[in-house]
Chains A and B, each alone.
Chain A
Amino acid sequence: MGKLTIGCFSSLVGSMTLDFALKLSEAAIKKGHTVDMWLSGNATMLSKKGQRKFQDYSSLEASMTEMLGKGLNVTACEACAEARGYHKEDLIEGLGRKSMDWYLASCFEADRVLHIGGE
């Protein structure tokens, strides 16, 4: 089985990119692949716990937490998160926070990289 690294740069609210990335991760993990997901820029919004669910907006905290339990490895960019006021104590349990070199290392080890740029 292979390793997939998905880099996400779009925001949680205002685009469906993270919804897609999470669904793709789920499909890949079901097939037995390993998946790293990198949240950078506005995508760090997904790493914040306490998201309130509205039907008008994407809400992925619950489904992401479920995927963490199935082996999805999600890491948020520490600097991007801090710049937005998302501190370590705001992080959803099970997520990591690292600097950008972590993403490059994950890409280095990946068989495939899907880099989804920001808006």
Chain B
Amino acid sequence: MAVEKKMAFIVDKLPYKAETSRLALTHAIASQSVEIYLEDEDTVIPVVAFVGEGVLNCLKDQAALKLYGVTSLEGHIKNALLLDLEVMVCKEDLEKYGLTNDSIIMDAEEIGGEVETQVVPFDDILKAMDSADHVLYF
């Protein structure tokens, strides 16, 4: 019988100051190739949630590649959306920083992504954590 396990990747750190949020995204995206280690049809369902200062990872128009020669967190978030990962952003924390949906990466349409970022109340993120088999707090 196929087993699905949900893993919640919680990001509350600033982008670029440390490697943490990048590692959260690259580990979450690695869920797309985890099957090579699992039994047939077993799978990992990832959900990525940005809370606190972590919501600043989601700002649009990042220029890390231009300025520092490294891929931006924006690129990683778009890759996550392209791969249909569930990406959640805490609504209250966005508001705390004076940000709106227009300020952040809401989709990856230009690279063919179909799912959108979900801006949700913190309670919904707590529910996602409650329903996860494992919470990975970055």
Contact = CB atoms under 8 A, between A and B. Distances in A.
Contact of A101 (B3, B13, B30, B135): B30
Contacts of B137: 115, 117
A119 to B, nearest CB: 6
Given A100-B27, A104-B27, A107-B134, A117 B20 contact: yes
Interface in A21-80: 40-42, 80
A103 B27 CA distance: 8
Nearest to A117: B138
B68 interface: no
Size range of the interface on B?
20 to 34
B1 interface: no
Interface residues of A, number: 21
A11 B137 CA distance: 17
Nearest to B46: A104
B19 A104 contact: no
A108 B42 contact: yes
Contact of B30 (A9, A80, A99): A99
A113 B9 CA distance: 13
A104 B135 CA distance: 11
A42 B23 CA distance: 11
A105 B36 CA distance: 9
A40 B30 contact: no
B60 to A, nearest CB: 26
Contacts of B138: 9, 115, 117-118
A103 B36 CA distance: 12
Interface in B2-48: 3, 5, 7, 13, 18-20, 23, 26-27, 30-31, 33-34, 36-38, 42, 44
A108 B5 contact: yes
B136 A113 contact: yes
13 contacts: A40-B27, A42-B19, A100-B26, A100-B27, A104-B7, A104-B27, A108-B3, A108-B5, A113-B136, A115-B138, A117-B20, A117-B137, A118-B18
Given A101-B31, A104-B7, A115-B137, 11 more contacts: A7-B136, A9-B23, A42-B19, A99-B30, A100-B26, A103-B30, A107-B5, A107-B134, A108-B42, A117-B138, A118-B19
Interface of B: 3, 5, 7, 13, 18-20, 23, 26-27, 30-31, 33-34, 36-38, 42, 44, 134-138
